[in-house]
Amino acid sequence: AVDPDRLWNSIAETAQIGATAKGGICRLALTDLDRQVRDWFVARCEAIGCRVTVDDMGNIFARREGRNPALAPIAVGSHLDTQPTGGKYDGIIGVLAGLELLRTLHETGIKTEAPIEVVNWSNEEGSRFAPAMLSSGVFAGAFSRAWACDRTDRGGERFGTALEAIGYRGAEPCGQHPLSALFELHIEQGPVLEAENKVIGIVTGVQGMRWYEVTVDGQEGHAGATPMRLRQDALLTAAAMVRSVGDIAAAHAPDAVGTVGLIECRPNSRNVVPGQVFFTVDLRHPSDAVLDEMEAAMRARFAEDARGLGFRVDDVWNKPAVRFDGECIAAVREAAAGLGFPAREIISGAGHDAAYVAAVAPTTMIFVPCAGGLSHNEAESAEKDHVAAGANVLLRAVLDTDRR
Ligand X SMILES: NC(=O)NCCC(=O)O
Query: Mask: binding to a copy of itself, 158-197, rule CB under 8 A, as x and -?
Result: ------------------------------xxxx------
The length of the chain in residues reads 404
Beta bridge partners of 101: none
Q: Comparing C-alpha atoms, which of 86, 185, 88 is closest to residue 127?
A: 86
Should residue 249 be labelled a site residue for ligand X when binding is judged by CB under 6 A? no
CA dist., res. 236 & res. 232, Å (int): 9
Outline where 56-144 has alpha helix (H): 92-108, 134-139
Should residue 271 be labelled a site residue for ligand X when binding is judged by CB under 6 A? yes
Should residue 90 be labelled a site residue for ligand X when binding is judged by CB under 6 A? yes
Beta carbon nearer to a copy of itself, 15 or 99: 15
B/e letters for 212-241, b = 16+ CB within 10 Å, e = fewer, are bbbbbebebbeeeebeeeebbbbbbbbbbb
Q: Residue 137 touches which of a copy of itself, ligand X, none (CB < 5 to 8 A by kind)? A: none
- CA distances from residue 379 to 20, 25, 124, 372 in whole angstroms, order as listed: 10, 10, 20, 10
CA angle 209, 215, 218 (to 5 degrees): 155
Query: Mask: binding to ligand X, 318-357, rule CB under 6 A, as x and -?
Result: --------------------------------xxx-----
- One-letter amino acid at 100 equals E
Outline where 307-380 has alpha helix (H): 326-339, 353-357
Beta carbon nearer to a copy of itself, 10 or 204: 204
* DSSP strands (E only) in 286-377: 310-319, 322-323, 343-348, 363-368
Q: Which of 125, 184, 188, 305 binds ligand X (CB under 6 A)?
A: 125
Beta carbon nearer to a copy of itself, 262 or 306: 262
How are the residues of the chain apportioned to helix, strand and coil, as percentages rounded to the nearest 5?
A: 35, 25, 40
Cβ(318)–Cβ(96) below 8 Å: no
Q: Which of 71, 263, 313, 337 binds a copy of itself (CB under 8 A)?
A: 263
CA dist., res. 351 & res. 91, Å (int): 11
Beta carbon nearer to ligand X, 302 or 356: 356
Q: Which of 2, 11, 50, 132 binds ligand X (CB under 6 A)?
A: 132
Q: 184 to 203, contacts with ligand X by CB under 6 A?
A: 189
Q: 362 to 381, contacts with a copy of itself by CB under 8 A?
A: 373-378
Q: 115 to 144, contacts with a copy of itself by CB under 8 A?
A: 125-127, 130, 132
Beta carbon nearer to ligand X, 3 or 220: 220
Should residue 87 be labelled a site residue for ligand X when binding is judged by CB under 6 A? no
Should residue 402 be labelled a site residue for ligand X when binding is judged by CB under 6 A? no
Beta bridge partners of 54: 60
**Choices 49-57, 166-174, 242-250, 288-296; region in contact with a copy of itself by CB under 8 A:** 242-250
Judged by the rule CB under 6 A, the positions of this chain that interact with ligand X are 90, 124-126, 132, 189, 222-224, 271, 350-352
